[in-house]
Amino acid sequence: MMKSQSPLVLVLLLLPTFLPTSSAARDFDFFYFVLQWPGSYCDTRRSCCYPSTGKPAADFGIHGLWPNYNDGSYPSNCDPDSAYDESKIEDLISSMQVHWPTLACPSSDGTHFWTHEWEKHGTCAESVLDQHAYFQSALGLKKQLNLLQVLRDGGIEPDGGFYSLNAIKNAIKKGTGINPGIECNVDESGNSQLYQVYFCVDTSGTELIECPVHPRRRCGSRIEFPAF
Ligand code: 5GP
Ligand code: 5GP
């Protein structure tokens, strides 16, 4: 026979159901961490401009670290009072020039790109990451993933060859343990090519997680991985 519970015990047991949990207090559910392949950014009809600091390395570059909701929607431009302030990240700038290069035209030193990413996306994660922590997290994630090496280890080389979407996804899953989202764009000859790779990151900005929802992006059946 079940022992009858005192009303006090029942109230204590049910309490968590009614209290706001820490996740309810958060203003987003996870991050997308997005890497871009410079070869694919540059060989479209729109072309690209190298940063004023010089041609970037033939490596994936950071596009951004984007707060997102589990339903696929996302907040943006959350705090107009929090301007991008380079003096807060002076120690990171030389790393950002290497790992977060801008390829948009006209040529610039990256400040415009980083300002845009902080103001549009970073300000929506200020409850967990201040400006320094935001940019540092992105740099740390890139290093942790080592994506180009992971692809190479899986036989996927940036040499103008063609691969199936599954071959690319499987190589990344094997090398990182995580299922990525893949975005393609189209080169001047109309080939589908590997443009951006999406990973999901927990709200601390440091732990890679399986994506609660994958970004809906399309690729052709043959995907080129162009050289840069
Ligand atoms: P596009 O429409 O070119 O894919 O994306 C334009 C911009 O919208 C991106 O660079 C990014 O700032 C934002 N964006 C697009 N898709 C997503 C998404 O799924 N989540 C978040 N947080 N931002 C996105
Ligand atoms: P999104 O809103 O797509 O995150 O940010 C893209 C914005 O950053 C656009 O205004 C784009 O012109 C600028 N931008 C500057 N450099 C780059 C770059 O290397 N890649 C991409 N995707 N956008 C860049």
Report domain extents, the chain. Answer: 25-225
Q: Distance (Å, rounded) from C-alpha 201 to C-alpha 205?
A: 6
Q: Distance (Å, rounded) from C-alpha 163 to C-alpha 157?
A: 10
Q: How do strand 192-201 and strand 161-163 relate by DSSP bridges?
A: unpaired
Q: Distance (Å, rounded) from C-alpha 42 to C-alpha 195?
A: 10
Mean pLDDT for the chain?
92
Share of the chain above pLDDT 70, in %: 89
The per-residue pLDDT for 227 is: 98
Q: Report the nearest atom of ligand 1 relative to the CA of 74.
A: 22
| pTM of the complete model | 0.90
Q: Distance (Å, rounded) from C-alpha 181 to C-alpha 171?
A: 13
Confidence of residue 20 (pLDDT cuts 50, 70, 90): very low
pLDDT in tens, 87-139: 999 999 999 999 999 999 999 999 999 999 999 999 999 999 999 999 999 99
Q: Which residues are catalytic?
A: 63, 117, 121
Cβ–Cβ under 8 Å, residues 77 and 115: no
Ligand 1 neighbours by CB, cut-off 6 Å: 32, 66, 68, 74, 120, 215
Q: Report the nearest atom of ligand 2 relative to the CA of 112.
A: 15
Confidence of residue 23 (pLDDT cuts 50, 70, 90): very low
The per-residue pLDDT for 216 is: 87
Is the CB of 104 inside a 6 Å radius of any atom of ligand 2?
yes
CATH number of 25-225: 3.90.730.10
pLDDT in tens, 41-96: 999 999 999 999 999 999 999 999 999 999 999 999 999 999 999 999 999 999 99
Is the CB of 99 inside a 6 Å radius of any atom of ligand 2?
no
The per-residue pLDDT for 75 is: 98
The per-residue pLDDT for 43 is: 96
Residue nearest ligand 1's atom 4 by CA: 217
Give the distance between the most distant pair of CA atoms in the chain.
78
Nearest Cα neighbor of 187 from 40, 38, 37 is 40
pLDDT in tens, 135-147: 999 999 999 999 9
Distance 93 CA to ligand 2 centre (A): 18
pLDDT-wise least confident of 7-11, 111-115, 132-136, 173-177: 7-11
Residue nearest ligand 2's atom 23 by CA: 104
Q: Report the nearest atom of ligand 2 relative to the CA of 113.
A: 15
Distance 27 CA to ligand 1 centre (A): 18
Residue nearest ligand 2's atom 11 by CA: 104
Q: Report the nearest atom of ligand 2 relative to the CA of 116.
A: 8
Is the CB of 40 inside a 6 Å radius of any atom of ligand 2?
no
Distance 84 CA to ligand 2 centre (A): 15
Q: Which ligand ends up closest to the CA of 32? A: 1
Sign of the alpha-carbon dihedral angle for 77, 82, 88, 90: positive
Cβ–Cβ under 8 Å, residues 132 and 92: yes
